[in-house]
Amino acid sequence: MGRGERDAVARGARLCEAAQAAMGDHGRAVEAVRAALRPIHDAAVQRELDAIPVARLQDVTEGRLRLGSVEKSGLRTVGGVLAAGPYRLRQIPGVGQRTVDQMLAAARRLSEAVHETVAVHIDVDRPEPGTTALVMALHVLVEAGPDARRAVDRAVGLSERLGPLLADARPAARRFRMLLVGQDKKARALAAVTEIRSLVDEAEQAGLPELIAQASVDLLREPSSDIAAWVDFELRSAEYYSLLAEISGRLPDTAAAEGFLPDEIAERVRAQHLDDAHRRVSLRGYQAFGARFALAQRKVILGDEMGLGKTIQAIAVLAHLAAEGQSHFMVVCPASVLVNWTREIEARSALRVMVLHGPDRQDAFADWKGRGGVGVTTFDALRGFPAPGGGDVGLLVVDEAHFVKNPQAKRSQAVAVWAERCGRTLFMTGTPMENRVMEFRELVRMLDDGVAESLGEGDALAGSVAFRKSVAPVYLRRNQEDVLTELPSLQQTDEWEELSASDEEAYREAVRAGNFMAMRRAAYMRPEKSAKLERLREIVQEAGENGQKTVVFSYFKDVLGVVEEALVAGTTDGTAVFGPLTGSVPAGRRQRIVDDFAGVPGPAVLLAQIQAAGVGLNMQAASVVVICEPQVKPTIEHQAVARAHRMGQVRPVRVHRLLATGGVDERMVRILEAKTRLFDAYARRSAVAEATPDAIDVSDTELARRIVEEEQARLGMTDGKPAATE
């Protein structure tokens, strides 16, 4: 046996040792998180049990327990019953051993359920020793990043393969031992040496020894301070919570994470491989499933609710296809999110990205066509580019795809041509059906004409369950409440204000003129006596005193101008005011305004036109949201709120909707509640929706006309003018 064989075994042993060391380092880092999490989770479970009334034990035992004497004894919660134990329970008059056994068994069942479902929320504003230890333990894994996770996964594979081979090759490690073993062991040892040499050569060519060594270094590196860990948590909370969910095993309900797809489709999606070689970000389980869905089904709509990381899922699909050898990709989006898309692709992947927009877009397009990469363009710019040949583009991504639901629009026609020519298409929208289910059919038609044709009036009449089943081959939607257990609370408050005499006068003038839009903003047109404006000032002042940032949304530019003037004139605590961010602000400038708003220390206010800022811009820096008036479409409000209350938000979000009593606001709220219920039934999961959407739908023009006529009649203005929408 020569030196070559011994060297091969030694190289294999060193690589195996390094792999096992990295696995051990990762295991210890994970165990540190579990150890820090355990007392926090146990305390959360106890708080939950202490809040459950003892009467709930009746539900668990189907009403068999008699608990009157237990409550009279002072045990009023399930937590109290468990803490009391069997001895104390038996001392309660009228409670026998059988009742004690049943009571404790029911309490333990509730405790187990709470233990499995309760989520740990990390309060960034009230750091305690326990949560600080947890954040610091998580920081190690977050800082090590996807490369460390990838290295550990490879290390596991190497260890599993090298371990048995090294055992078989042990005789070859020493010159004289080979003389003492039989022919079978000698042959096995020589075969093992050959395989070890091949494995080590392959690993070295792939750079695995360096990758594994770096992972160990990163996993052993501690944060410079607890302050550094907390700052990083606030910046990257989504990654911290993602790791926490994975390590704790408290993952979302599988059916919810998979969008309640039929079993046969879900099985096909689960079997789809997802390559992460060109990706620089870890995915949550539901995000990996979304990327696999797009790959397995080829042409799909990803309809996840706002804030669930649709962009990350699209990037995962792009990275996978690039690893398979695809070279050209196209992303189409509103101008307002061009900058966001380029940033995300550059930060989250190793893919080349090019902006195909502006006066030089044709030159940029030619460069993209020649060199490849991810082209990012707008709906309008896409119309000026030649459609690709079959197979030229690996994936077409269309962000905010509900913008192309009208088949008569030129932008819709351009997208339809590209979708037809591309083998894979990913439509992304959190609001695929703003009013009518049948509008959704037009989006589906661009992807799968057969599925679109199957969506007739009958599906709408049958309710949302039949509808979701029909669109399952092309449509996946998950909701925040189903998959993001760590989101801080969202508190929504309708702030009803009595119009001042001055407000009332302005409102009557708008009604008399039949001007619907003037009616909607009348409460701000005389700012010196505006009841809504006064309440808005109070909300902003309270937020500022608490060091919170506020975003103020309105449909109207002139309302934002009034608000800006009032806040700038009335601010005495140093609160900075940014904006207004409107549709006329260039896309790149919009992103800079949001960045500046997020970057300023302390309280700040961002003024934003709701239809401009409700698309694509992430405003997690804001924990207070003010909506100046009700919107014609409920989804406009949903989108705007979701810009702040989304994955990555670390503080509870308070939403204040400013409403005036007795006029247009009341009528809009009443009508739009029906619209919201319709949207929930069809765009979200529901088993009880039975009404056809067209029976409830109200178009913008029809809504304006109806409300103006009703208000003119209420105020005795039957000779008023017909409704005007501007």
Kindly report the three-state secondary structure assignment for every residue of 533-575.
HHHHHHHHHHHHHCCCEEEEEECCHHHHHHHHHHHHHHCCCCC
In the 3-class helix/strand/coil scheme, how is 41-101 assigned residue by residue?
Answer: HHHHHHHHHHHCECCHHHHHCCCCCCCHHHHHCCCCEHHHHHHHHHHHHHCCCCCCHHHHH
Query: 587, 335 in Cβ contact below 8 A?
Result: yes
Binning pLDDT at 50, 70 and 90, where does residue 617 land?
low
Binning pLDDT at 50, 70 and 90, where does residue 37 land?
very high
* Beta bridge pairs of residue 493: 656
627-683 tens-digit pLDDT: 999 988 777 787 788 777 776 666 778 888 899 988 999 888 887 776 655 555 554
Those residues with Cβ within 8 angstroms of residue 594's Cβ, 6 or more apart along the chain or in another chain: 581, 606, 617, 618, 619
What is the C-alpha separation between 568 and 549, in angstroms, rounded? 15
Whether 558 has a pLDDT exceeding 90, the answer reads yes
pLDDT given for residue 152 in this prediction: 93
* C-alpha pair distances (Å), 90 with each of 70, 99, 457, 460, 618: 10, 9, 63, 57, 57
Q: Which amino acid is at 433?
A: M
What is the C-alpha separation between 113 and 122, in angstroms, rounded? 21
Q: Which residue has the tokens 């009467």?
A: 55
pLDDT given for residue 62 in this prediction: 59
With both helix axes pointing from N to C terminus, report the angle between 587-599 and 338-348 in degrees, rounded to the nearest 10. Answer: 60
- Domain parsing of the chain, residue ranges: 3-40+124-232, 44-117, 253-482, 489-714
500-533 tens-digit pLDDT: 999 999 999 999 999 999 999 999 999 999 999 9
154-177 tens-digit pLDDT: 999 999 999 999 988 877 666 555
Q: Name the average pLDDT for the chain.
A: 84
* Beta bridge pairs of residue 607: 552
SS3 state at 685: coil
pLDDT given for residue 653 in this prediction: 81
Q: What topology does CATH give the domain 489-714?
A: Rossmann fold (3.40.50)
Q: What topology does CATH give the domain 44-117?
A: DNA polymerase; domain 1 (1.10.150)
pLDDT given for residue 480 in this prediction: 75
Mean pLDDT of 478-485: 78
**H or E, element range at 476:** strand 475-476
Question: DSSP string of 185-232?
Answer: HHHHHHHHHHHHHHHHHHHHHTTHHHHHHHHHHHHHPPPS-HHHHHHH
Whether 464 has a pLDDT exceeding 70, the answer reads no
pLDDT given for residue 146 in this prediction: 84
Q: Out of 210-219, 434-443, 477-486, pick the least confident.
A: 434-443
Task: Tell me the percentage of the chain whose pLDDT exceeds 70.
Answer: 87
pLDDT given for residue 224 in this prediction: 76
Query: 687, 464 in Cβ contact below 8 A?
Result: yes
Whether 541 has a pLDDT exceeding 80, the answer reads yes
Question: DSSP string of 11-33?
Answer: HHHHHHHHHHHHHHHHHHHHHHH
Choose the most confident range, by mean pLDDT, from 74-83, 305-314, 363-372, 445-454: 363-372
pLDDT given for residue 633 in this prediction: 77
> Does the bond joining 580 to the residue before it have cis omega, within 30 degrees of 0?
yes
Query: 134, 37 in Cβ contact below 8 A?
Result: yes
Those residues with Cβ within 8 angstroms of residue 584's Cβ, 6 or more apart along the chain or in another chain: none
Q: Which residue has the higher pLDDT, 6 or 434?
A: 6
What is the C-alpha separation between 343 and 616, in angstroms, rounded? 13
For the chain, the C-alpha Rg in angstroms (whole number) is 30
Looking at residue 499, the DSSP 8-state letter turns out to be P
Residue 493 has which token pair? Answer: 């408050």
Looking at residue 400, the DSSP 8-state letter turns out to be T
Nearest to 519 by CA among 345, 667, 694, 302: 667
CATH of domain 253-482: 3.40.50.10810
Q: Do domains 253-482 and 489-714 have the same CATH topology?
A: yes
pLDDT given for residue 684 in this prediction: 47
pLDDT given for residue 697 in this prediction: 38
Q: Which amino acid is at 4?
A: G
pLDDT given for residue 372 in this prediction: 96
Whether 19 has a pLDDT exceeding 90, the answer reads yes
330-364 tens-digit pLDDT: 999 988 778 778 888 998 899 999 999 989 999 99
Whether 623 has a pLDDT exceeding 90, the answer reads no
Binning pLDDT at 50, 70 and 90, where does residue 313 land?
very high
Whether 692 has a pLDDT exceeding 50, the answer reads no
pLDDT given for residue 29 in this prediction: 94
